[in-house]
Chain A
Amino acid sequence: MTKARRIFTLLLRLLALGATLAATIIMVTSHDSAEVLNLTFEAKYSNESTFKYFVIAEAVASGYSLIVLFISSKSLLRHLVMILDVVITTLLSSSVSAAMAIAHVGKKGNSHTGWLPICGQVHKFCNQVTGALIAGFIAAIIYLVLLLYTLHTVYI
């Protein structure tokens, strides 16, 4: 691979590392509490299994990005890296999609099942979750672009 392509791939991987790390950190630090009718209403990311899955998936992806940064493009492991890239992209996309589905219920509620939206009471939590979701979405897109770019430069 020429030097320009290698630098571009490295840049994409760094961006992906940044995005996944940001998504993990923003989601983990999301925390808010509100008082409604003398009941304290506490909202944390760990109250919801979907957000826990999101944090775990993004943490795994950021750890993977960090490790892969140190594997040069000529080593024998590059085939394994390509396959693991596909698996990690799948994981990221499923975690973002699941978190978005539950966050949509939290923001708009669901009139058919009688689930009330909670974003009116805990604004800070909702905003931080939205920020984490945006970062996760960007990470998934960067990984997809990286995958297609790697395939294009190395094999086509």
Chain B
Amino acid sequence: MALETERKTEAIFISTPAQKQKDRILLLLRLVAFLATASATIVMALNKQTNTLVVATVGNNPIKASLTAKFQHTPAFVFFVVANVMASFHNLLILLLEIVGHKIDYKGLRLAIIAILDMLIVVLAAAGDGAALFMAELGKNGNSHARWNKICDKFQTFCDHGSGALIASFIGLILLLIINIISIAKLFNPKSYNTI
């Protein structure tokens, strides 16, 4: 029959009090993830340290040379900042969507779209974190085989701020991964079906 071929199945989710509680917990997790990634971005973007050392003395005047350590010097940290900016932006957007735009939907695909976007952002943030972590490890320990000296003994504040940003970013990544897994698990069994 023509009516049956035109029937479209749409999944809606009943909001029971238990479901509302779970949604609120998810929202809280996402808020903490947003704060973590945003703070990681800000701390790393403002990461800068200048060391002045006396290079030579001419007569009575010491000649000073200043060395700066900035996050832009390494492409790994630049990628870290960019990835965390995108992750925090995504978190903020989905937070606003959940709080303000509860009714916004696209052919019943709202949950699937959020899950897919979450997956992409998790992969991106993981890449940024991995690169920055190993670059920081290289800066901290150096590499004797390649004759690369460590830089953390001269630029202690730079390294400390970088480590703080890395820890915050990893917390954000783990929370985002948990949120993503919960969203995918929600997709497995929708609570009811509505046929139009």
Contacts and interface: CB of A to CB of B under 8 A. Distances in A.
Interface of A: 42-43, 47-50, 53, 79, 82-83, 86-87, 89-91, 93-98, 100-102, 104-106, 110, 112-116, 118, 140, 144, 147-148, 151, 155-156
Contacts of B147: 116
Interface in B39-87: 69, 73-76, 79
A101 B76 contact: yes
A104 B78 CA distance: 13
A69 B132 CA distance: 33
Given A90-B122, A147-B119, A97 B145 contact: no
Contacts, number: 107
B116 A83 contact: no
Interface stretch (B12-20, B23-31, B97-105, B177-185): B177-185
Interface of B: 69, 73-76, 79, 109, 112, 115-116, 119-120, 122-124, 126-135, 137-139, 143, 145-149, 151, 177, 180-181, 184-185, 187-188
Given A86-B177, A98-B130, A112-B69, 17 more contacts: A48-B146, A79-B188, A83-B181, A90-B122, A93-B127, A94-B130, A96-B127, A98-B134, A100-B131, A101-B131, A102-B134, A105-B135, A110-B74, A113-B151, A118-B146, A151-B115, A151-B116
B75 A86 contact: no
Contacts of B151: 113
A83 B115 CA distance: 12
B131 A144 contact: no
A27 to B, nearest CB: 15
A10 B71 CA distance: 43
A86 B130 contact: no
A89 B147 CA distance: 33
A110 B69 CA distance: 12
Contact of A82 (B112, B124, B184): B184
23 contacts: A42-B145, A43-B145, A48-B143, A50-B137, A79-B188, A82-B184, A86-B177, A93-B127, A95-B130, A97-B131, A98-B131, A100-B131, A101-B131, A102-B138, A112-B73, A113-B148, A113-B151, A116-B148, A140-B123, A144-B120, A144-B123, A151-B112, A156-B109
